[in-house]
Structure 1
Amino acid sequence: MSMVLLLIPALPALLALGALSGHLGGRGVPASVTLTAALAGGFAIVGADPVHLDWLLLGTTLGLGSTAQALLGAAAILWTAAAIAARRLFDGDTGPRFGMCFLLTFAGNLGVIVVQDLAGFYLAFAVMTFAAYGLVVHDESREAVRAGRIYLILSIAGEALLLGGIFMLAAEVGNPAASAIPAAYEELTQPQVVGGLLLAGFAVKMGIAPLHVWLPLAHPAAPVPASAVLSGIIVKGGLLGWLQFVPAGDPALALPGNALTALGLVSAFGAALIGCFQSRAKTVLAYSTISQMGLLAVPVGLLVAGHGDAGLLLPAITLFALHHALNKGALFLAMDQIKHGRRAVALITALPAIALVGVPVASGLIAKGAVKSALPEPFALALTLTAITTALLLIRFLCLIWPGRNASPRALEPVPFLIWLVVVLLGQALPWLYANADDRAYALAPGTLWDGLWPVAIAVVVAGLASEVLKRWPSLPEGDVVSPVERGLRRLYRGVVRRHRQLGDRLRPNRERLAALPAHRLPQHIPEPGIPWVGALILVMTLVLALLYGIPVGVLS
């Protein structure tokens, strides 16, 4: 059984070589993804006990916790739908490259879900992160290249934070499995620093403010199927990292846990409001993801800081993550269906949109109800209030994608449309099936039903008044703080170039006088030292790096 579980990430990783050679194409890649997804779906249903493979890497542990099991099912559904929707992208001159990146990202995403030891998890996380760069820049447009550059900058920053925490953790306790993490932190001399670095590193993938700016740039640039998996399931890799490698309730982690809670609230409210002033539907959805990941960060931060009951919060977090993955994936996949100009498609798209708000009786009602019932006050009230900003954001989205009166409907492609329709329906049904009886009872209580209605009513009134007052809806730049930062860096660069030219102009007379000196006064030969200083410097750097990498490796082995 352990070898079969290992096949889940290994199979698409091996098939990526076939995609790069061009032997898979528009049929082979979707078939490969579907086969692997069927295997993953089976494990998502029956589960898998942890197994340890001493021969793999530094000793790899595979298994499925409750959160990983739910997300494995969501990953199987979304990746299959995305692969079918992207089938034409796997052909042509750039098809082999896109297919390779698609399969490698798929492999890394599945690895993040099934791997439970620190070293193996980081390997899968890094493969997923850097392979996804190829999905973002696939179009090779100026916009895509800019989005890819910022994605890489933040990804590398996140990896640096993670490596800092991982090296500190590994230097003292080796390569722990997720089940051994609470005991491992008790042995650390600086658990607050280790936990803070891991929380911050995984926050980059989650898109938590102020590390969120890659999301609203990458999603509009990436093809629609890539955006669906990026926003639906890939960002959940950060959530799994938090839950598996940062223990809950450790007193030393109260400060980073509280900081994560605060940043989660900022992301939840701030991203939703910024998204209301975007002019492209995919960008609006990207800000919605930032907001929803902020909502997930709040209970995780409270759990880490010791302000919540793990028995209540963990199932609620899992339910919310499952609900968001399926519904946000459905919304992004809808972008390929909306272009056909049919109002029936827009009406179907409204279903996952209102589910994210939490209206009765959509899946968001039970997901948000479960989280609110597990949160202490005033955080439960804050979660209710975020429904207003979420509703405003998704009203903006629906206004942008709604077909106009002069739209001329075109024929739908049957297979992608039916697959998308299945994702929409599963996004509503699976959270209700996954939830326990207490969650269902809480979601259907009169008070909870009212909590799901009044924020939407307020949002509709505010949106109507705002449209009347503003007339022409203003827009903010995509990536919000990125634009002023880029402008500032350009000014700084121009200033450095200008100062360099001024300095060159001042030194030019001296250079001319030096060139006019008699030749015999200039040194004819400069003797080389016995050992070149550059070679010595390289030797020193090599020894330092060997020492830095050798210590953790020696401990881990």
Structure 2
Amino acid sequence: MTALAAVSLALTPLLPLLMALAVVPPRSREWVARLLPLAPLPALAAAFLVQSGGDLLLEPVLLGLDLGIDGPRRLLLVMTALLWMAAGLYGRGYIPRDAAQHRYNAFFLASMGGNLGLIVALDAPGFYLFFSLMTLCSYMLVVFERGERSYRAGRVYLVLSLIGEMALLWGLLRAVAAADSLMIDDMPVALAEGGALTPLLLFFGFAIKAGQFPLHVWLPLAHPAAPTPASAVLSGAMIKAGLLGLLLFLPLGEAAFAQPGLLMAALGMVTAFYGVLFGLPQRNPKTVLAYSSLSQMGVLISALGVVQASPQAAPLLLPAVVFYALHHGFSKGALFLSVGVVQQGRTGRLLALSVAAVAAVAIAGAPLTGGSLAKLLVKAGVEEAQGTAASLVAPLLSWSAVGTALLMLRFLAALAAEPRKQGEESKEPPGAGWIFWIPFAGTAALAQLFAWSLVLVEGAEVAEKAVTAYGLWESAWPLLLALVLAAVWLLAERRLNLPKPDVAEGDLIAWVPTLAQVRESGHRLYITLARPLRRRPQLVTATGQGLADVVQKWEQALVRPQGLPITLLLLSGLLLLVILAS
């Protein structure tokens, strides 16, 4: 490895983290804010300079932090670095220049360092370190605006993320013991020969980050609550960490696991259609995009389930999954950024809607777009496979494309209805102009250019298939059917005066009673059960009230960001007890 490649690889996670620390001294905050969009440059350089098979060992870090780039890491690193760069530039105009900007910059950079670091980490301790860093620091991006909506989204995000972290740590400890090695490459073979508990724990931890049903509820709450540039990287880049973890750790292509593969494929398909069903009634364009991300990740998880059940499909299907993730990352990032551009609305609102429409129909798989190439690749890989999982997923892929097209039409309608924000109501300062348009239009263009470039270089057969009558029809009919269904619904809604469906963000979590309700119900139940103890009614009442007060104070502490260390301490203790018991 050349010296320049080694330096760029080392700086991939370290530069954003060092810049985050530089926010602490007030004197350096301004230059950190100005240079923030350039923080991912070492990662971009490493993606082109570091050769596959080469690694860099940083001995002073942990047990020796091993960094390198191979397999799906390279392409995901390029997409992730470019998306963070675009979001960083966008944030220069979006985040108000006040004291809160420095807090945002610090956690934005720390989350970036974790996201880029986990991609290049070759050992389990390094991967877990960066994965946890990204998860915990992005919590501060979710609650950045400090409203009740943000805190509620942050609580749900934090609880589910920490549950996933505990499962992931437990699974990694077992995987390291099974492989007798800290290197990630040694673990899939060891897991293929071991029991089911370790792969299940790893899948559970990564599936939460990937937003799989029924633990998806954090995603449609957190993504709309975060500032727009943070939403773009949450949905476009950070959610892919769960997918990358599954690609790296699970024994995909090592051996046939029919039943686990079928369950994974079924879960992915349920998530894909669930995201459509609960995304269509939403009125906030960012919430619609969050449910769309949930649905798209479901498609990718189902494809991995097919590989788990039919390992012979791995050579064709795994690169297709990575390609699909790349296109989705760029396109979804552009769509989130379009919300701020349209809300600003001072110049080019119609043009912004047009660019957003191109990115939206590309995700839906319109003919000759990068999305159509991605869907054709995944469909070809699934059809190549054998078994029950493949026969389940293959016919549903096209229908999931219809659902995606409906969601994109719903998003465009919600985006067009967004009012222009002015004055104090606007999060974007006046005159931002180019600082919004360059990252927005750039990511929308990259989604198409990057996809076609990869296909022309690596898969010319798919490019040829995409321009045939079969390829054009396979890409066109889901979008055409979605247009017909949308027109029929609008006509029926107007003629029959149908009520508009309304589903709360987070769907399932809205039906879960709050902690205050649980506390009140528990207090009443305690008093009721204690009534036979007539001799000491005052002691019973005081005990019940004392327990209620303790729970209330704990709840109030968790509402604030300062409650994070308490939660971490409690859950870490619980994890330690579980590990010792096993």
TM-score category of the 2 structures, normalised to the smaller one: 0.7 to 0.9
Q: Aligned letter for 1:385?
A: W
Instruction: Show the counterpart of 2:453.
Output: 433
Q: Is the 8 A contact 1:64 1:114 kept in 2?
A: yes
**In structure 2, which of residues 130, 136, 150 is the aligned counterpart of residue 144 of structure 1?**
150
Instruction: Pick closer, same or farther for the CA change 1:69–1:287 going to 2, 3 Å.
Output: same
Any gaps of 5 or more consecutive residues in structure 2?
384-389, 423-429, 541-571
2:264 pairs with 1:260:
yes
Q: Is the 8 A contact 1:102 1:131 kept in 2?
A: yes
Instruction: Pick closer, same or farther for the CA change 1:92–1:46 going to 2, 3 Å.
Output: same
2:462 pairs with 1:462:
no
- Deviation of 1:252 (Å): 7.2
Instruction: Show the counterpart of 1:537.
Output: none
Instruction: Show the counterpart of 1:10.
Output: 14
Instruction: Pick closer, same or farther for the CA change 1:94–1:415 going to 2, 3 Å.
Output: closer
Instruction: Show the counterpart of 1:534.
Output: none
Deviation string 1:19-75 (CA, Å, 9 cap, x unpaired) is 2334444652351441x3222222223443331527242243322123211111111
CA distance in 2, matches of 1:267, 1:339: 30
CA distance in 1, matches of 2:17, 2:165: 21
**In structure 1, which of residues 393, 401, 405 is the aligned counterpart of residue 407 of structure 2?**
393
Instruction: Show the counterpart of 1:168.
Output: 174
CA distance in 1, matches of 2:250, 2:66: 17
Instruction: Show the counterpart of 1:284.
Output: 288
Q: Is the 8 A contact 1:261 1:299 kept in 2?
A: yes
CA distance in 2, matches of 1:547, 1:162: 13
2:186 pairs with 1:183:
no
Q: How does 1:309-348 map to 2 (within 5 A)?
A: 309-341=313-345, 342-348=349-355
2:475 pairs with 1:452:
yes
Any gaps of 5 or more consecutive residues in structure 1?
515-540, 553-557
Instruction: Show the counterpart of 2:434.
Output: 414
CA distance in 2, matches of 1:506, 1:405: 61
Q: How does 1:232-271 map to 2 (within 5 A)?
A: 232-251=236-255, 253-271=257-275
Instruction: Show the counterpart of 1:204.
Output: 208
Instruction: Pick closer, same or farther for the CA change 1:65–1:491 going to 2, 3 Å.
Output: same
Q: Aligned letter for 2:284?
A: R
CA distance in 2, matches of 1:483, 1:457: 34
Deviation string 1:223-275 (CA, Å, 9 cap, x unpaired) is 00000000000011111111111111344744333221111101111101210
CA distance in 1, matches of 2:182, 2:190: 7
- Deviation of 1:451 (Å): 1.1
2:389 pairs with 1:363:
no
CA distance in 1, matches of 2:419, 2:104: 37
**In structure 1, which of residues 98, 110, 124 is the aligned counterpart of residue 116 of structure 2?**
110
CA distance in 2, matches of 1:252, 1:147: 39
Instruction: Pick closer, same or farther for the CA change 1:363–1:30 going to 2, 3 Å.
Output: farther
CA distance in 2, matches of 1:330, 1:356: 11
Instruction: Show the counterpart of 1:478.
Output: 505
CA distance in 1, matches of 2:12, 2:438: 26
**In structure 1, which of residues 438, 442, 445 is the aligned counterpart of residue 465 of structure 2?**
442
TM-score, structure 2 normalization = 0.83
Mark the structure with the bigger radius of gyration: 1
Q: Is the 8 A contact 1:136 1:221 kept in 2?
A: yes
Deviation string 1:519-542 (CA, Å, 9 cap, x unpaired) is xxxxxxxxxxxxxxxxxxxxxx99
Q: How does 1:507-518 map to 2 (within 5 A)?
A: 510=536
Report SS of the residue matched to 2:125.
Answer: helix
Instruction: Pick closer, same or farther for the CA change 1:291–1:24 going to 2, 3 Å.
Output: farther
- Deviation of 1:201 (Å): 0.8
Report SS of the residue matched to 2:66.
Answer: strand
Q: Is the 8 A contact 1:52 1:59 kept in 2?
A: no
**In structure 2, which of residues 68, 83, 105 is the aligned counterpart of residue 78 of structure 1?**
83
What percentage of aligned pairs have identical amino acids? 36
CA distance in 1, matches of 2:257, 2:405: 34
Instruction: Pick closer, same or farther for the CA change 1:545–1:271 going to 2, 3 Å.
Output: closer
Instruction: Show the counterpart of 1:374.
Output: 381
2:523 pairs with 1:497:
yes
Instruction: Pick closer, same or farther for the CA change 1:356–1:547 going to 2, 3 Å.
Output: closer
- Deviation of 1:357 (Å): 0.4
2:358 pairs with 1:351:
yes
Instruction: Pick closer, same or farther for the CA change 1:284–1:406 going to 2, 3 Å.
Output: closer
Q: Is the 8 A contact 1:254 1:305 kept in 2?
A: yes
Q: Aligned letter for 2:233?
A: V
CA distance in 1, matches of 2:37, 2:420: 39
Instruction: Show the counterpart of 2:51.
Output: 48
Instruction: Pick closer, same or farther for the CA change 1:47–1:475 going to 2, 3 Å.
Output: farther
Instruction: Pick closer, same or farther for the CA change 1:306–1:21 going to 2, 3 Å.
Output: farther
